[in-house]
Structure 1
């Protein structure tokens, strides 16, 4: 006779009763034993032991899990029934139990993942009915659960099954039933960003499920969503998450400019009352320790960058709110400022891992989408929407430190320059550089067409671009073999040729324009070597750069043998020579340098699929309570 499930566990074992119930449920030799109603009543009265349940499930092989599918199916059905009944505390217990169970059961390496997982959860014959009930139960709780904590548990359970089953058939059940209205209703009712984050994260996974293979309903929902209040709540959550992720980098290496402190910085902005009391400093990590710590960053919450990208790519209202939403409280960072600050740290550390690099692509996609929109780029370049952004200064070379507010466009250019300077490797990340150069070209073409002159240290841009020419010339054999390197090289030459031909439209004064020519001449024969190394003799933009350089070299050598190379000419003489050279200089940069292709998601399909897989893995790190 089967012992009652209510039998007391021996006090000498000190084993929690719920662990005994887990072991009874998944004991292989008892797979044919029917579990009594009393067993299930007690099972859903005990608070889950997450670690204990994971340990029990972790000891079961995929084949053993399939062998015990009657019990796993019954657990799944019983938990769904408890959720639908909505009776406390068993509905919460059922949600927590399913979150742990689904994580463990779905992550096993089954021989036939799709069919085996369905067998474990519902059985092939009843799969559609059971899974529809499951999704319906979650939908009900997310939308109308009795309180936010319960609804949050439902969101986390949904995130768990979506993440764990992302590459199997399971997420398709969440596309058959549209959870978008429920998720938006839940976000609307949330009281803080901690509650919003999992729902926004989940939305990103649902939008990206097979979105290149079929018309994803969640992607369509993003197109016409215009609820400003919910969008602003999402963007506020995104901004706060960016600050937390950025601060994790700062915790490894505090890069506050020399002579500054948090207190002095707040005083500078008139916020001295917010300065914290001094506290003992923590030991500074060694170089090796810092390297190891940086390699683990950014934290898993960075996955919301995918959700933000998808919303920005689909919805102009979202983009407008992203660039214009003010901080909630005086002294806080605005969402756009937080995003740009985090992006700065991502760019300086993009080379540390493929995961980090993939997230930089998302930031670059978002920036490209923003600067391609004429109304948004106008705002980004306007003095009316200046920002104060903490930029990463954890690695040399440093850009000039600019205190106070600046236009978002000037900050974006700083981000790009930093990215160009700090990710130079023989195995170059061509995608990163292609996207970065494309954003620069879009910004400069807008400034030229609109004749907008923003305050910026332009010489740093020319210096970085020409240093990139030198790098590519040095490692030409490594670079030419890389996918999309031809596109990258073309963008680089077009960008600099465009600046030469149109710089007078956006540079602040003739001196700044002269400096561009000076930097080009100073490059010497690198441009010629670059042209020959990359077979660009027929490229008009490349030949323009070479001709301009040769024109001034000839003119300067006529003044003094050796010219700039021997630095025998004074700056005043060089400036005079450059001005004189304008009279005999003909710049034929060719038409079309200012043209660029609009962002098309399909062009980056492979990258976005890899990004989605990384976000799925990171989702597993945000399912538990923060």
Structure 2
């Protein structure tokens, strides 16, 4: 006769039998009514234990009531649970292997996140015992490897991936993930990815890969990082990138759900019609309540969702593998009218940039997006594609905060979109306690893009006046809050980048700006700044900077012309029209000498070691999000 799934607790209440088994397993030995310490852990007990489907919430409650010391006190029971579950997984018999995986996932979530006095040794004691740790953990990893690679179906293999994600995330700062570096799971994860039909099933494996790559990668030669270097399977890479793109869309849509920022005068129907997809437009769309200002602020602060951790995996793959980068930049959407992965990534990034200031977590992931963009724009073959008119794409950019950039309808080069992202980021993250890393990375990306455009003499369509306006406004901001800015770490690097970027534009603008009028506009914007550049030079002690001197000299040259009694405007005329200033600028070229400093078009390639601290902070944030993700995927 099969055991009843219910156990009578009293005449009035019943509980699932599995809950009774959980409580029996983790009952204090002196509470045993029969006085036999291990009678309840007989073979019959375990047969019954792995017969019942797990009750996740109930098991969490049982484990949640136990303190770390109580968990250590009952380590013989937890160790036997761990060994028995491993044995069931290896037997590969349905449904007990699946039940064992689910049980272990819940158990690891609860047991490994307790605040132990000595996390590494205490966790090993709870799972395997110090003396048997290497044997038991190797057996565990081997069992997971077997299921991930060759399990009887994808749902079971997905459970094995989730279990591995659980133990890696929960034990990231202990020795536990080292067992996954002793045995290489990379081939199994790639085989699993190849076999997945649903891209959402790829996400946990890709997420897990990011954690494994980042486990102590600055302390020893991480084998997963080496695996990324030479992986060239296009089909698997494209599957990963498809999953990444769909994840970016979901994360972006969470921001839109808080505040729909469709440009004024646009609607879902008109937008779909614009892209030739009018047949998909609904006849009517139910209105959704708009949250108030405080509620929106709170909702935005909670974003992005935990799936954002895939940015770490994406960064690591991009940093190690040129095939991955090429596919990320080039891959077309699976169906016509869908968003390409690169378009989805850029769209999400624009929302991250506008909301980077809302939390330290959001700022860290914003930096990670910038790391990835810098890697892409530094590669000559990739930046050529990013700037090519033949590889244009539509991208929905964030418009949730003023000031807004001009709306551009239709497809654009990725390079022009990246410039928009950076300009938006510069405009929307101005604080006295400035995020120096954000601005240093953003200006560095602009410098690399303009350097390529200048050297290759490529002219992309862009509203350049917005870039100059933002850069010069940033000069004003820094000059206003110089005392706050100079006290910040690495602020001098950021200031040098800003100066060099504008000096490059002045000295090489003819190579990439679309026409003389656009070049004139740059000088016009510079003249408009008045004496800000001189104040900026003095405030940041840049008298010895050749690039800074170039900016000041150009500004002084035109101010002298405008103030001269021989100037076009005529003696005594105080207010010049834009047309009159424009004529002075054109005539001023004849007597203008721009002595740009050497090395404006030289920059150092991305070096991960330079950002070690930031990457460690990102990894810790991703670990925390992995813990949240386990509840949602």
CA deviations 1:48-74 (Å, max 9, x no partner) are: 111111111011000110000000000
Question: Partner of 1:352 in structure 2?
Answer: 358
- Going from structure 1 to structure 2, the CA distance change for 1:436 and 1:380 (only over 3 Å counts) comes to same
- Going from structure 1 to structure 2, the CA distance change for 1:497 and 1:77 (only over 3 Å counts) comes to same
Q: Shift in Å at residue 309 of structure 1?
A: 0.3
Contact 1:255 1:394 in 2 (8 A): yes
Question: Partner of 2:609 in structure 1?
Answer: 602
1:71 aligns with 2:86: no
Is the partner of 2:144 in helix, strand or coil? helix
Distance (Å, rounded) in 2 between the aligned partners of 1:564 and 1:486: 42
Distance (Å, rounded) in 1 between the aligned partners of 2:396 and 2:618: 26
Distance (Å, rounded) in 2 between the aligned partners of 1:387 and 1:603: 33
Distance (Å, rounded) in 1 between the aligned partners of 2:503 and 2:7: 82
Is the partner of 1:15 in helix, strand or coil? strand
Task: Give unmatched runs, 5+ long, in structure 2.
Answer: none
**What's the TM-score once normalised by structure 2's chain length?**
0.97
1:613 aligns with 2:620: yes
Contact 1:557 1:563 in 2 (8 A): no
CA deviations 1:491-535 (Å, max 9, x no partner) are: 000000010000000000011000000100100011111100100
Q: Shift in Å at residue 14 of structure 1?
A: 1.7
Distance (Å, rounded) in 2 between the aligned partners of 1:67 and 1:563: 93
1:204 aligns with 2:210: yes
Question: Partner of 1:520 in structure 2?
Answer: 526
Q: Shift in Å at residue 562 of structure 1?
A: 10
**What's the TM-score once normalised by structure 1's chain length?**
0.98
CA deviations 1:515-569 (Å, max 9, x no partner) are: 0001001000111111001000001101110111011001011157999999722
Question: Partner of 1:291 in structure 2?
Answer: 297
Distance (Å, rounded) in 2 between the aligned partners of 1:177 and 1:96: 22
- Going from structure 1 to structure 2, the CA distance change for 1:566 and 1:438 (only over 3 Å counts) comes to farther
Distance (Å, rounded) in 2 between the aligned partners of 1:244 and 1:563: 60
Question: Partner of 2:342 in structure 1?
Answer: 336
Question: Partner of 1:33 in structure 2?
Answer: 38
Is the partner of 1:583 in helix, strand or coil? helix
Q: Shift in Å at residue 9 of structure 1?
A: 2.9
Is the partner of 2:114 in helix, strand or coil? coil
1:162 aligns with 2:161: no
Question: Partner of 1:367 in structure 2?
Answer: 373
- Going from structure 1 to structure 2, the CA distance change for 1:25 and 1:362 (only over 3 Å counts) comes to same
Distance (Å, rounded) in 2 between the aligned partners of 1:473 and 1:566: 29
Q: Shift in Å at residue 572 of structure 1?
A: 2.2
- Going from structure 1 to structure 2, the CA distance change for 1:556 and 1:170 (only over 3 Å counts) comes to same
Contact 1:556 1:563 in 2 (8 A): no
Distance (Å, rounded) in 1 between the aligned partners of 2:23 and 2:170: 23
- Going from structure 1 to structure 2, the CA distance change for 1:16 and 1:305 (only over 3 Å counts) comes to same
Pick one of 480, 491, 501 that aligns with 2:486.
Answer: 480
Pick one of 399, 408, 417 that aligns with 1:402.
Answer: 408
1:381-396 aligned at under 5 Å gives the runs 381-396=387-402
Q: Shift in Å at residue 622 of structure 1?
A: 1.7
Question: Partner of 1:9 in structure 2?
Answer: 8
Distance (Å, rounded) in 1 between the aligned partners of 2:558 and 2:338: 50
CA deviations 1:328-368 (Å, max 9, x no partner) are: 11110000000000000000000000000000011101100
Q: Shift in Å at residue 277 of structure 1?
A: 3.3
Distance (Å, rounded) in 1 between the aligned partners of 2:455 and 2:505: 12
Question: Partner of 1:570 in structure 2?
Answer: 577
Contact 1:238 1:304 in 2 (8 A): yes
Task: Give unmatched runs, 5+ long, in structure 1.
Answer: none
1:541 aligns with 2:547: yes
Question: Partner of 1:24 in structure 2?
Answer: 24
Distance (Å, rounded) in 2 between the aligned partners of 1:42 and 1:244: 41
CA deviations 1:152-185 (Å, max 9, x no partner) are: 0000000000000000000000000000000000
Distance (Å, rounded) in 2 between the aligned partners of 1:551 and 1:391: 39
Is the partner of 1:494 in helix, strand or coil? helix
1:277 aligns with 2:276: no
